[in-house]
Each structure stands twice: as C-alpha cells, then as structure tokens.
Structure 1
Amino acid sequence: MIYRMLPPVDIHHISHELARLGEHLQRAYDERPGVLDSGPRFLLDGLGDLLDTLSDTAANTPAESARALHAATGGTPDALLAHGLDLLAQLADQAERLSLPRTASGLERLSLALTCWMLRLGAELDRPEFVVNATAGLANTLHATDDLAGLYALMTEMVEGMSPARIQDSGNFPSRPWRVLLLNRAIVATRSQRPALMVAAFDSLVEHLPEDAPDFFREGMGQMEALQYPAPVRELMQRYYDRWCTGQRLH
C-alpha cells in the first residue's frame, strides 16, 4: 500500500511505520538472502534504538532536548539526524535491491518526518541529499492543493534548517541539495495554487539562485498555459516572468 498523504511529524508514527516497513524488508530478505551482503536487521535495530532515544529525550525546548540527547548518547542533534538519515538511506537501498519499491518509498517518506522532527528540536540539516531527493519523490505523488501546501511548509522547515556549510557549498553543481530544494519548493508552491506561498518561494529563489530564475519562470509560464492554472496564479507567474525574462532581454 502506498501512502500518498504527508507523513505526520511524530516520533511515534515514525517508529510504528519503521516497524511495519521493516517487517516487509526482513521477510523479503529471508526469502532471498543472496541478494544482499547482509540483512536489514542490524540497521533496523540501530534506527529503532535511535528513535526510542529521541522519544525519551524530547523536552520542552530545543536546548533542553539537546542536553538530554547529549547526556544519553554523547552526540549532537545534528550528528544524530545525519546518522538517522544514513540508516534510512541504507534501508531504502536494500528495499530497492530486494525489488520492494513501495517499501523504499515508505522509508524515504520517513526521512522527511524524521528531519522535521529533529529540526524542531534544534538540529541543523547537514546531510540533506537523501531527504531532499525523497521530498521530490513525495511531491510527485501529491495532487491535492492542501497536501501540496502542507508539503511546502515542511520543505520550508528544511530550507530554514539547512546548515550554513551546505548552503555555501562551492561550485554550481545542478544536483547540489540546496539548489534542488529551492527549485522544488517553488514548484510545489506553484502547484499548491497559493499565491502567498508562491511569492515567498519565488523571492527566495531569485535571492539565492538568480542564475536559475529566468529558466524557472520561463518554464512556469509554459505550465500555466498547459495546465490551465487559476487566473491569480497565472497573473503572479506572469509578473515574475516579465521581470526576470522579458525584462532581462531588454537590457
């Protein structure tokens, strides 16, 4: 079964879903043990222990949670988030190799819930590659504008929680997570048909990725015509197109 709704940012839900998905993964491994060098049990147990610790140490403020986490594990929220995402990425890879695409997608969605849970506890997102790609995959399954607006809010938490070091990655690589996240958030804002979200996402895009803005708005105008967006959405896209595409050609 594929869950197309947004994953709740709730540590108990994450734990429950991990147990459910882990059963599918372990069963498939038991039936085809030669596919993987080692089974998923070690990864599942490690991630389960991490989730239990996160649940037990959650406090009223990020600072209190960070102190409790450090006392329990010796690690920082940033490092524990990175570790959790790494375990999820390895499990999703195992699911793909065992021909379980739905299980892999479920594990990817958990990365979004775990990331936002940890960001709310004060963590910074320092290893964003897996969750950024997972978020893009989730966006492709959503169609209801309310769901897309909800995903936009979670993506904004990721934007605001990205570590400065990753934002300032040197080079202009098309696949760098910061770029992918900002572009995808602008697409999700457009598909949500919420002009207020579009303005915020578009302004962030032109501030941080001015070299990508003209192509984005040019393609956006093509989508407006092809998909018959409501007039307020089309008018807003036209405004940004005129400024960043037509206007640039006049200089």
Structure 2
Amino acid sequence: MALILDIPSAQKRFEQYATPILSAFAESGIASGEQITPPMIVDALRQLFAVLTTDVASWDPALPDDEPERISDLTIGLLMDLATWADRLGEPQAKTALEMITVGIAAWVCNQHGAIHTLEPIVNGLAILANSRAETDELRSLAQLMGQVKEAASADYATDLDGADPHRPWRILLMNWGITATRAQDPAEMRSAFAAILRHLPADAALFFQEGRQQVAQGDFPDEVRAVMEEAAEGAGRSLH
C-alpha cells in the first residue's frame, strides 16, 4: 500500500478506484434525477487534479492568497462525496482508498502553507496508512505529516468545541501523532506530539502516557525513546496534582 503523500500518487490511486465506482454506478440502474452522480464527481475531480499538478507559482497572480486551500478543500469534499457513493454502491475498498487519497491533498496544502478545514477524512486516511506500516522511516514521514496537519487545522479545530466526543477528529489526530511518532522511534517528533497532547488534551494525557509507558516497556525501543515517554508520563502525572 503506497503512502500517497504527493499529488501524482494521489491522482494515480484516484483513477484506479474511480473505475470500479463508475462501473458499479452504470450497472446499478440508479436514476440520477437531480443527484450529483459519480460521473459528474469524477469529471470535476479530474479537473481539480489537473490544477493540483501545476506549479502554484504559475497560477494567475490575481487569484486570492487562499486559493490553494480553497482548491484543496473542494477536492477533499468531492472525494468524500465519491466515497459516499462508493459505500452506497458496495465498493468498500474504493471508499477506504478515497480517504487515503485525502492524505495526499493534505500534504499538498500543508506544503502551500494553507489551512485545512475538513479534517475527518484526512485523520481516517492517516490512521489507515499508519496502521499498515511497520518501517520506522515510513512511520516518521507519517508522524511528521500529522504534525503539519495539526498546525494547518489548528485555526478551525484547536478550540476543541466538541470536547465531550472521544471520536472527534482533532483528538484522534493528536493521539495518533503521538503513537506514530513513538512507533517511528523519533524522540524529537515524540516531544512535539506529546507537548500538543498535554496542551490540547489535558484530560486524556495521563492515561495516554500511562498506556504509552507500558507499551514502550514491553516493546523493543531504544533507551532515548523510553526516556522521552517516561518524562512525558511523569509530567502528565504531576499536572494532575
């Protein structure tokens, strides 16, 4: 399973999974009526990918500064519309793939220093990719991207207005960032992720680091990784008193 952290990879994966969705829709006999149908969504996404593959420096300078994030948000929204159709048409693999494709769009908008407004599919895609990885280099790339996504989404999500919902994307993103950084055995990335958890998820921090300490103690981790986890666990414990 490719990481899909760039636009060419995302576009290739999109074309791969658009085909079965279009075929399933054609065979379904579903009356289109006034619905936005898979062929319409696929056509729009192809046009957006054509834009995303061009150098932003070559775009019309009269466009607003936030045009990259507008394009990325529109692309993610249409990918999720297509994912809804994939689910309806009985194409679960395509639905999962479309969530993973949003990760490539997120990486692109982060590189453009834009904001991320639609977080849930990106968080789902990052989780799928991280859970399918064991190599520390790949996990490090994913952890670093999670940190970039956190920064890009902070303006919309850091207030954490849905704090009572344990399944909220912001919480899952920060938790997965910490877990992935630990699995990547990257002390610097761990410190960044752990600081974010302590700051934004204080109610979750103590249990998170307690469980992390147990996992690190049982696993084959370098001493520096163990030390960073111990330091975070002790800090979270002190913050409770």
Give the alignment's TM-score, normalised by structure 2. Answer: 0.86
Alpha-carbon distance, 1:22 to partner: 0.8
Against the structure 1 CA distance between its residues 129 and 160, is the aligned structure 2 distance closer, same or farther, given a 3 Å change threshold? same
Tell me whether 1:81 sits opposite 2:72 in the alignment.
yes
More off after superposition, 122-131 vs 162-171: 162-171
Shift of 1:125: 0.5
Following superposition, the deviation at residue 99 of structure 1 comes to: 2.8
Relative distance call for 1:201 and 1:12 in structure 2 (3 A) is: same
Residue equivalent to 1:180: 172
| Matches of 1:13 and 1:145, distance apart in 2 | 21
CA drift at 1:66: 7.8
Aligned 8 A contact 2:100 2:124 in 1: no
Residues 137-156 of structure 1 deviation map (CA, whole Å, 9 limit, x = unaligned)? 22111111111001011112
What SS class does the counterpart of residue 211 from structure 1 fall into?
helix
**Is the Cα–Cα contact under 8 Å of residues 150 and 173 in structure 2 kept in the other structure?**
yes
Deviations 1:74-107 (A, max 9, x none): x833332221111111212222333323222221
Check whether the contact 2:158–2:200 (CA below 8 A) recurs between aligned residues.
Answer: no
Structure-2 residue corresponding to 1:20: 16
Hey, what's the Cα distance between the residues in 2 that align with 1:52 and 1:68?
A: 19
Give the superposition deviation at 1:7. 1.0
Name which of 213, 225, 241 aligns with 1:221. 213
Q: Secondary structure at the match of 1:8?
A: coil
**Residue matched to 2:47:** 49
SS at match of 1:212: helix
Paired residues of 2:4 and 2:101 also in contact (CA < 8 A):
yes
Q: For residue 162 of structure 1, give the secondary structure of its aligned residue in structure 2.
A: helix
CA distance in structure 2 between the partners assigned to 1:33 and 1:69 by the alignment: 41
Root-mean-square deviation (Å): 2.6
1:111-147 Cα distance to aligned partner (Å, 9 max, x none): 0101111232232101212212221222111111111
Q: 1:122–1:199: structure 2 CA closer, same or farther, 3 Å change rule?
A: closer
Asked if the contact 1:149–1:189 (Cα under 8 Å) also holds between the matched residues in 2, the reply is: yes
Contact 1:92 1:104 in 2 (8 A): yes
1:6 aligns with 2:6: no
Cα distance per residue 1:156-189 (max 9 Å; x no partner): 2211211513222424132333222111101110
Q: How far apart, in 2, do the equivalents of 1:201 and 1:219 lie?
A: 15
Counterparts of 1:217 and 1:100, CA distance in 2: 38
- Listed as ranges, the gaps of 5+ residues in structure 1 are none
Q: CA 1:163–1:223 in structure 2 vs 1: closer, same or farther (change >3 Å)?
A: closer
- Alpha-carbon distance in 2 for matches of 1:248, 1:167: 20
Cα distance between partner residues in 1 of 2:55 and 2:228: 45
1:238 to 218, 222, 230: 230
Aligned partner of 1:130 in structure 2 is 121
In structure 2, stretches of 5+ residues that fail to align are none
Within 1, Cα distance between the matches of 2:59 and 2:183? 36
How many residue pairs are counted as aligned between the two chains?
A: 238
